Amino acid sequence: MLAALLYGKENLRLEEVADPNPATGEVVIQVGAATTCGTDLKVWRRGGHAKMLRPPTLFGHESSGRIVAVGEGVTGWQVGDRVVANNSAPCGHCFFCQRLEYSLCPNLTWNNGTFAEYLKIPSAIVQQNLLQIPNELPYELAAMTEPLACVLHGVARSNIKAGDRVVVLGDGAIGLMFVAKLAQDQAVEVSLFGGNEQRLKIGEQLGATSTFNYHQLPDIPTVVKELTQGWGADVVIEATGVPSVWEIAIACARPGGTVNLFGGCPRDTTITVNTEQLHYSELTLKGVFHNTPEYVRQALSLIASRKIPFELVISDQRPLRDLEQAFCDMRDRKVVKVAMIP
């Protein structure tokens, strides 16, 4: 089969590799669509990921498709089922899993290789995070289950209350999904800050109360305070993964506010926090990572409901051979997400 392999920084190659065969408890799907995402872009640019993968390796982690082979011992699934598989599954028995903190499980089973014609799903994911998708749901929308599950986890951890004023920093796919989910709740005001006018317009379509191009602003925290009678936002969600923006996010929060540091920064980077502000303003700073089986199910249900036009986040559909160009276009901010069709 044709598959994408990551060898290092911006070193992505399409190669012919052996078709996967399912072992006991596993299934193989024919990929219907695999979507690109900001995490893939960061991994491509950085040449690896601290938790998910180390090159050389099969690449990509968002997809949906149709089961074409079922391993021994698998029950409840059959060839022809339309499915989406999360890219991980917790072990279920460690210290963190016993406390239902599944995203912190040190034994997460990871799965990469969605940018390919076929994808093998490990048994742990088959058991916990393989879901059937409705016949009428397009593969490219179902493939967005994983990132949306991460967003739902992030929303749940953000201490958001009715009437809150929320600031989202970052107009990538994750930032736009945060806007869409928060706007759906209709009980908060959401301001989106980004650097791309086209993406900011998508944010407006998804329900942002206001949008701002940071290229045209002298100082983001000052603008946020002007929007909030001088106090700052109740909740700030950082969705860029840039250390300097983490610091901006903290500066945007009101006394007593919550800052969700959601975007993953490069390995071994640090930020500076004003201890006086953190202490006397009683700020809550949260790092939020990944998703859990509960949010995977909620995400697919929300996508399938079609209550939110998530198709706005998909800029294009392209054949697998155009994968590297898709990442170049993402790097240059010409597209948000691209659905790759093997």
Q: What is the pLDDT of residue 14?
A: 95
Predicted TM-score (pTM) of the model is 0.96
Residues 63, 67, 69, 75, CA torsion sign: positive
d(CA 116, CA 17): 10
Beta strands 284-287 and 314-319 are unpaired
How do 57-58 and 2-8 pair as beta strands? antiparallel
Q: How far apart are CA 256 and CA 181, in angstroms?
A: 23
Query: 207-213: which pairs have CB atoms within 8 A and are 24 or more residues apart?
Result: 207/179, 207/180, 207/182, 207/183, 208/168, 208/179, 208/183, 209/183
Dist. CA 217–CA 234, nearest whole Å: 21
Task: Give dist(CA 130, CA 67) in Å, integer.
Answer: 11
| Residue 20, preceding peptide bond in cis (omega within 30° of 0) | no
Domains and CATH numbers, the chain: 2-149+290-341 (3.90.180.10), 158-287 (3.40.50.720)
Q: Answer whether 133's CB lies under 8 Å from 143's CB.
A: no
Show Cβ contacts of residue 294 under 8 Å, excluding neighbours closer than 6 positions. Answer: none
Pick the closest to residue 337 from 202, 210, 184 (CA basis).
202
What 3-state DSSP class applies to 191? strand
pLDDT given at position 50: 60
Cα-based angle 234, 236, 240 (whole degrees, multiple of 5): 175
Residues 203 and 196: their CA atoms lie apart, in Å, by 11
* Torsional sign, CA 150, 173, 122, 128: positive
DSSP string, 23-82: -TT-EEEEEEEEE--HHHHHHHHHT-BTTTB-SSEE----EEEEEEEE-TT--S--TT-E
Closest to 6 (Cα-Cα) out of 71, 50, 55, 73: 55
- Residue 52 and residue 96: Cα distance in Å, rounded? 18
CB 283 within 8 A of CB 253: yes
Predicted local distance difference test score (pLDDT) of residue 47: 74
Helices (H) and strands (E) in the chain, counts: 11, 18
Per-residue pLDDT of the chain (342 residues; tens, 9 = 90+): 999 999 988 899 999 999 999 999 999 999 999 999 998 998 888 877 766 777 788 999 999 999 999 999 999 999 999 999 999 999 999 999 999 999 999 999 999 999 999 999 999 999 999 999 999 999 999 999 999 999 999 999 999 999 999 999 999 999 999 999 999 987 999 999 999 999 999 999 999 999 999 999 989 999 999 999 999 999 999 999 999 999 999 999 999 999 999 999 988 999 999 999 999 999 999 999 999 999 999 999 999 999 999 999 999 999 999 999 999 999 999 999 999 999
Inter-residue contact 257 to 235 (CB < 8 Å)? yes
